[in-house]
Chain A
Amino acid sequence: MLKIISKSLDETIRIGMDLSKHVMPGDLICLTGDLGTGKTSFTKGLGKGLGITEYITSPTYTIINEYYSGRIPLYHFDVYRLGSADEMLELGCDEYFFGNGITVLEWADNVLDILPEEKLCIIMNVGNNFDERIITMKAYGDKYKTILKEMKNSESPRN
């Protein structure tokens, strides 16, 4: 487990960029956290780090946005509006999970039942003050444990 404190929105974006250095095609990243905790900002950072040039927005209404301009495709899901895990299967989510890109899943709790065992779960909570966020990363599976190890080692001193 890796816990990172972010003092600002910019820092949340930077943490997303840090993560982008360690991900590979087929990786699954699940984001959980209340509205306004920075899930989409984190994804923006990840996308920026992957070299995506398009403007990344929350796919709340489209459910999936796909970005192909970076070094690896990014599939950005927001499953807030899905009623059940069944609907997620109907979307053909497996084609993304096991595809050639990185999948980022917001509100992953809604579809937890059908997610692959191996994944990186990121939980975002509001910290001690209005701008502060506590970002907790949990790795399920060896490849994600390695990612966290690498992130710990390369973590640049902040503040």
Chain B
Amino acid sequence: MKVLAIDTSTVAASAALIQDGSLCCEYFLNDGKKHSEKIISIIDYVIKSCGLEAKDIDVFSCSIGPGSFTGLRVGASAIKGIAQALGKPITGIPTLEVLAYNLRGFKGLICPIIDAQREMVYSTLFRFEGDTLLKIKDFSAIVIDDLICRLGPYDDDIAFLGDGVFLYQNKIKNSLKNARFADVGNILPRASSVASLAIIKYKEGHLLWYNDLRLDYIRKSQAEVEYEKNHIVTIVNMKAEEIDEVVEIEGLSFNNPWSYESFDFEINKNNLSRYIVAKTDGRIAGYAGTWLVFDEMHVTNIAVHPDYRNRGIGNKLVEEIINIARESGLKRITLEVRNSNNQAICLYEKNGFKAEGFRKKYYADTGEDAIIMWKEL
């Protein structure tokens, strides 16, 4: 079987031809994005170098993103055009898998990062189990600092590759002791990896006709930015009539949710408590509860409705409780967070909280430790 594959998802363009399980020719060009001018002649060169003609190819393949929008479109158009003309099937391979496949056999974790601009990268965490590529965690589009923070808890070596490495290598190196970086030959996506994965897809029967191939750009949380502009989030003190909505969010967020009665007590009877809610679209999107005890603030709970997560609302709530503590002349803020709740830990760290201790087996449901965090004001 003969597979011709290309990759144009980053600044480099490449084409490769695998015939009966062996790589016959691979052409890799990294001279600045001019894919539209070069990719057809590169494909032509690769096929001819193997003594073949385009009609001899059984399957065509390209990477389908994420990556450079323009690059991806050029590559997909080229492959679709050729496949349509010749009546041959095609298969599309996700770019992050292509990158991970460059490091086949690596024992630790593999973290491809593709530049998504605005300090963001497209990323997924992989691991090889034998020859099979396993997806450990899909980060989609993520701010690089958040990604580094989210990778903090992993002890294994993490190999980074992709064009994001050119931008963030030092930052990663300084923050993660277990970070490794792919060598120069493997750092960008390679068409030979696309071809290898295309053969696996072929064996699994995942072939498409030219008009069924879809690119997967991965929309970054630009939606988040837009959302903030179009949907104003206001933070106000929580009122008694809002308890029902808050109890619902509590139930959607925690294994051992507080009851209506608990919130009722907090709002109506407890003089030390201060509860705030984030409102948007006329709904409660999230809330935060605190106790003001002497010169300290104790955060009791913070949660955001699942419909409104990943929109910076949690961050707004944290910022607001910090403001409240400052305005009330308090000296420090403390909270407990589940050991496994890395996303929350990252959010608190970003706002200046530091882990100062543990409460062993604090959470009855899983027996997990709580991390005690403090912020000095």
Q: CB distance B217 to A90 under 8 Å? A: yes
Nearest A residue (CB) for B119? A98
In this complex, how many residues of chain A approach chain B with their Cβ under 8 Å: the count is 12
Question: For residue A91, which residues in chain B have a CB less than 8 angstroms away from its CB?
Answer: 69
Contact residues, B92-134 vs A (CB, 8 A): 116-118
Chain B nearest Cβ from A97, distance in angstroms: 7
Chain B window 120-150, contacts with chain A (Cβ cutoff 8 Å), 1 for yes, 0 for no: 0000000000000000000000000000000
Q: Interface size class for chain B?
A: 10 to 19
Contact residues, B225-250 vs A (CB, 8 A): 225-226, 229-230
Contact residues, B62-84 vs A (CB, 8 A): 68-70
**Cα–Cα distance between A113 and B229 once the two chains are bound (Å):** 7
Q: CB distance B229 to A98 under 8 Å? A: no
Residue B222 interfacial (CB < 8 Å): yes
Residue B219 interfacial (CB < 8 Å): yes
Question: For residue A95, which residues in chain B have a CB less than 8 angstroms away from its CB?
Answer: 68-70, 117
Partner of A114 from the list B68, B217, B226 (CB cut-off 8 Å) is: B226
Contact residues, B39-72 vs A (CB, 8 A): 68-70
Question: For residue A113, which residues in chain B have a CB less than 8 angstroms away from its CB?
Answer: 226, 229-230
Contact residues, B276-313 vs A (CB, 8 A): none
Given contacts A97-B117, A98-B118, A113-B230, contact A92 B225 (CB under 8 A): no
Residue A54 interfacial (CB < 8 Å): no
**Cα–Cα distance between A116 and B226 once the two chains are bound (Å):** 11
Question: For residue A97, which residues in chain B have a CB less than 8 angstroms away from its CB?
Answer: 117
Chain B window 165-184, contacts with chain A (Cβ cutoff 8 Å), 1 for yes, 0 for no: 00000000000000000000
Residues of B at under 8 Å CB distance from A?
68-70, 116-118, 217, 219, 222, 225-226, 229-230
- Sorted nearest first, the 3 A-B pairs with minimum C-beta distance are A92-B69, A94-B117, A98-B117
